[in-house]
Amino acid sequence: MTGGGAASHPKKHVKRQNPPKAADRPGLAARQCAARLLGAVIEKKTSLDGLTDNQHGHPHYMALDDRDRSLVRAILGAALRNRGTIDALLMQLLDRPLPENAVALKTLLHIAAAQILYLDIPDHSAVDLAVTAANDDPRNRRYAGLVNAILRRLSRDKDTLSTPAPNAPAWFAQSLVKAYGTEKAAAILAIQAVEPSLDLTVKSDPQGWAERLGGIVMPNGTVRLAKLETALPELPGFADGEWWVQDAAASLPARLFGDISGKRVADLCAAPGGKTAQLALAGADVTAIDISASRLARLRGNLERLKLQAQTVEANLAQYQPEEKFDAVLLDAPCSSTGTVRRHPDVPWTKSPDDIAKLATLQAQLLARTVELVKPGGIIVFSNCSLDPSEGEAVARQALDNPLLEAYPISQEEFPGLAGLVTPEGYLRSTPADFPNADIRLSGMDGFFAARFRRIAL
Ligand SMILES: C[S@@+](CC[C@H](N)C(=O)[O-])C[C@H]1O[C@@H](n2cnc3c(N)ncnc32)[C@H](O)[C@@H]1O
């Protein structure tokens, strides 16, 4: 007989199997971590690179195994690349807008929608895990039914819903239109939604490496792979230091010095060292300067793998005093990095017009300082990976107010196959919409700007 009044019959203690705790659900921790990190990017403007750093990342990310970490990165990549589309789709499915303060709910829905719409994950697990995550979070518990309903509808109707929404915050979309016109701005935003190819700068024999690695050779000699099929260190040539990862556009500024074999060249904002490696490979006696000890340590590690040499100096460029001036200097200045939006889809969401204005001021100061470090007659290359002309063309034009500098325009002949990147003023300007390819996975390049000057002998 069972039952009976609890008061009259003390309950026999029956050992019951506990239902699995939410925290034990496979895949839940990764989804919760993804939602937390998306919140940090959008609400606190924290850089995704820092949050997902394998040594110093967010504690919840660090607690995950490698598989879950790569899942978190994939979810966040899809959620950020397609943020405008996801937002518009969710709005269509909601009867009324979410409460303003329901930030955690919105983040959770975005994470789940990214999986349903863009990742090779069964829709039902994305939905189930989102509902479990909602129930596990006091802020979202009362919305668990709504989460379930919205995500099921999204899964069912995703092929018929349409949303022509820009995947960028308004300030970024508007700045692109202002700088490049409507058509090119749209092309830039379209390609930023696609995961970029992987470009390698090879020490020699680009054609041979392209054949070995299954890639194509770009006009500048970079080898481009449509997709990374294996972990980078497992690719042939990595351990032997035969190549390094560097976007095709990022490889152009260091080529603007001409023959630098045997010359003393300073790479003034050097880490992690892609351009230092190019200069060293070209035979220059390179001094690599950077303000960041940890980034310089990465640079040293990279050079060691590549079996290339450079002296390294940890210093703030504003105070740096070399014993002797250099024959040439490269200033690859800190910038808003909006040109790297394809690999860093968090950038438009973490940066603002205010940041761009501050960085443009800093770049002008660093460029003025750079002039003091080069010998009369020496070449100065100023570059950065911003798409905003106020960090590029405007800084370069203003620098010519300095009587010690003269323009040394870049000519189209210097870049066969990429001559379209050279502007009438003699600057180099690339955007993600440049170098289109019928195979979208092979299309595009980072947005980069470079200007070349000569220090005048007075
Ligand atoms: C765009 S990254 C350089 C990338 C590098 N040139 C490459 O190709 O790998 C800018 C670098 O400037 C460094 N930096 C920023 N401000 C600096 C300063 N005042 N003095 C020296 N380095 C600085 C940062 O630590 C960062 O490593």
Q: Taking 90 as the threshold, does the pLDDT of residue 162 lie above it? A: no
What is the 296 CA–ligand 1 centroid distance (Å)?
9
The first and second tokens of residue 340, run together, are: 């790297």
- Mutation probe of ligand 1 site: the residue of 290, 306, 330, 446 with most atoms within 8 A of C-beta: 290
Work out which ligand 1 atom sits closest to the CA atom of 318.
19
Say which of 385, 421, 428, 451 is annotated catalytic.
Answer: 385
What is the 331 CA–ligand 1 centroid distance (Å)?
8
- For the chain, residues classed under CATH 1.10.940.10 are 22-157
Burial class (CB in 10 A: 0-12, 13-18, 19+), 292: middle
pLDDT for the residue numbered 3: 33
- Residue with more model confidence, 25 or 270: 270
Longest dimension (CA), the chain: 107
Q: What is the ipTM of this complex?
A: 0.99
Q: Taking 50 as the threshold, does the pLDDT of residue 63 lie above it? A: yes
Work out which ligand 1 atom sits closest to the CA atom of 254.
8
Return binding residues: 269-275, 290, 332
Whether the CB of 334 sits within 6 Å of ligand 1? yes
Tracing tokens 């990190």 back to the chain, one arrives at 37
| Nearest Cα residue to atom 10 of ligand 1 | 334
Q: Taking 90 as the threshold, does the pLDDT of residue 4 lie above it? A: no
Q: Hey, what's the torsion of the CAs at 394, 398, 400, 401, to 10 degrees?
A: 170
Q: What is the rounded CA–CA span in Å between residue 428 and residue 422?
A: 5
User: pLDDT tens digits for 261-296?
Assistant: 999 999 999 999 999 999 999 999 999 999 999 999
Which residues, in sequence order, are bridge partners of residue 382? Answer: 331, 451
pLDDT for the residue numbered 22: 61
Q: What are phi and psi of 202, to 5 degrees?
A: -100, 150
Residue 393 and residue 429 in contact, taking contact as beta carbons nearer than 8 Å:
yes
User: pLDDT tens digits for 185-208?
Assistant: 999 999 998 889 999 999 999 999
Work out which ligand 1 atom sits closest to the CA atom of 273.
9
What is the 133 CA–ligand 1 centroid distance (Å)?
40
Work out which ligand 1 atom sits closest to the CA atom of 272.
9
Whether the CB of 273 sits within 6 Å of ligand 1? yes
Whether the CB of 318 sits within 6 Å of ligand 1? yes
385 tagged catalytic: yes
Which residues, in sequence order, are bridge partners of residue 196? Answer: none
Of 91-105, 125-139, 305-319, 354-368, minimum mean pLDDT range? 91-105
SS (H, E, C) the chain: CCCCCCCCCCCCCCCCCCCCCHHHCCCHHHHHHHHHHHHHHHHHCCCHHHHCCCCCCCHHHHCCCHHHHHHHHHHHHHHHHCHHHHHHHHHHHCCCCCCCCCHHHHHHHHHHHHHHHHCCCCHHHHHHHHHHHHHCCCCCHHHHHHHHHHHHHHHHHCCCCCCCCCCCCHHHHHHHHHHHHHHHHHHHHHHHCCCCCEEEEECCCHHHHHHHHCCEECCCCCEEECCCCCCHHHCCCCCCCCEEECCCHHHCHHHHHCCCCCCEEEECCCCCCHHHHHHHHCCCEEEEEECCHHHHHHHHHHHHHHCCCCEEEECCCCCCCCCCCEEEEEEECCCCCHHHCCCCCCHHHHCCHHHHHHHHHHHHHHHHHHHCCEEEEEEEEEEECCCCHHHCHHHHHHHCCCCCEEECCCCHHHCCCCHHHECCCCCEEECCCCCCCCCHHHCCCCCEEEEEEEECCC
Q: What is the rounded CA–CA span in Å between residue 247 and residue 421?
A: 15
Return binding residues for S-adenosyl-L-methionine: 269-275, 290, 332
Q: What is the mean pLDDT of the chain?
A: 93
- For the chain, residues classed under CATH 3.40.50.150 are 247-455
Q: What are phi and psi of 330, to 5 degrees?
A: -115, 125
The first and second tokens of residue 219, run together, are: 């006009």
| Nearest Cα residue to atom 2 of ligand 1 | 334
Instruction: Please name the residues in contact with 354: beta carbons below 8 A apart, sequence gap of 6 or more.
Output: none
Q: What is the rounded CA–CA span in Å between residue 71 and residue 113?
A: 14
What is the 317 CA–ligand 1 centroid distance (Å)?
9
Whether the CB of 27 sits within 6 Å of ligand 1? no
Instruction: Please name the residues in contact with 46: beta carbons below 8 A apart, sequence gap of 6 or more.
Output: 40, 350
What is the 259 CA–ligand 1 centroid distance (Å)?
24
Phi/psi-derived region of residue 457, left when phi > 0, alpha when psi is between -120 and 50, beta in every other case: beta
Whether the CB of 339 sits within 6 Å of ligand 1? no
Whether the CB of 309 sits within 6 Å of ligand 1? no
Residue 40 and residue 51 in contact, taking contact as beta carbons nearer than 8 Å:
yes
| Nearest Cα residue to atom 25 of ligand 1 | 292
User: pLDDT tens digits for 301-343?
Assistant: 999 999 999 999 999 999 999 999 999 999 999 999 999 999 9
CATH number for 22-157 (one of 1.10.540.10, 2.60.40.1930, 3.40.720.10, 1.10.940.10): it is 1.10.940.10
Whether the CB of 332 sits within 6 Å of ligand 1? yes
Q: Quick one: average pLDDT of 431-447?
A: 94
Q: Which CATH architecture has domain 247-455?
A: 3-Layer(aba) Sandwich (3.40)
Residue 48 and residue 61 in contact, taking contact as beta carbons nearer than 8 Å:
no
Q: Are strands 326-332 and 374-384 parallel, antiparallel or unpaired?
A: parallel
The first and second tokens of residue 450, run together, are: 């470079």
Work out which ligand 1 atom sits closest to the CA atom of 332.
6
What is the 330 CA–ligand 1 centroid distance (Å)?
11
pTM of the prediction?
A: 0.91
Work out which ligand 1 atom sits closest to the CA atom of 385.
1
pLDDT for the residue numbered 231: 87
| Nearest Cα residue to atom 15 of ligand 1 | 334
What is the 273 CA–ligand 1 centroid distance (Å)?
9
pLDDT for the residue numbered 308: 98
User: pLDDT tens digits for 30-43?
Assistant: 999 999 999 999 99
